[in-house]
Amino acid sequence: MKHLHSGKVRDLYQTEEGLLLMVASDRISAFDHVLTPDIPDKGTILTRMSLWWFEQLADVVPNHVVAPGPDGRSVLCRPLRMVPVECVARGYLTGSGLIDYRRDGEVSGIRLEPGLVDGSRLPEPIFTPSTKAPVGEHDEPISFERVVAEVGADVAAELRRITLEVYRRGAEIALERGIILADTKIELGWDADGVLTLGDEVLTPDSSRFWPLDQWEPGRSQPSFDKQYVRDWLTSPASGWDRASGEAPPPLPEEVVERTRARYVEAYEKLTGRPFTG
| Residue 220 located in a structural domain | no
Q: Which domain holds residue 100?
A: 81-215
Same domain, 43 and 161: no
The reported pLDDT for the residue numbered 240 is: 96
- Rounded-to-5 percentages of helix, strand, coil across the chain: 30, 25, 40
The reported pLDDT for the residue numbered 137 is: 62
Give average pLDDT by consecutive 10-residue segment, the chain, 278 residues: 91 96 95 93 96 98 96 95 96 96 95 98 97 70 95 98 98 98 97 97 94 97 87 94 93 95 95 92
Number of domains in the chain: 2
Same domain, 86 and 201: yes
Same domain, 243 and 185: no
| Residue 166 located in a structural domain | yes
The reported pLDDT for the residue numbered 84 is: 94
Helix (H) or strand (E) holding 28, with range, is strand 28-30
Same domain, 211 and 85: yes
| Residue 23 located in a structural domain | yes
Same domain, 98 and 167: yes
Same domain, 92 and 209: yes
**DSSP alpha helices (H): ranges in 67-138?**
95-104
DSSP-assigned beta bridge partners for residue 76: 21, 67
The reported pLDDT for the residue numbered 70 is: 86
CATH number for 262: 3.30.200.20
Residue closest to 63 by CA, chosen among 167, 188, 206, 214: 188
The reported pLDDT for the residue numbered 109 is: 92
Please identify, among 175, 191, 215, the residue that sits at the C-terminal boundary of a domain. Answer: 215
The separation between CA 185 and the C-alpha centre of its own chain, rounded to angstroms, equals 4
Residues recorded for the chain: 278
Same domain, 90 and 207: yes
The reported pLDDT for the residue numbered 134 is: 62
| Residue 99 located in a structural domain | yes
Same domain, 41 and 124: no
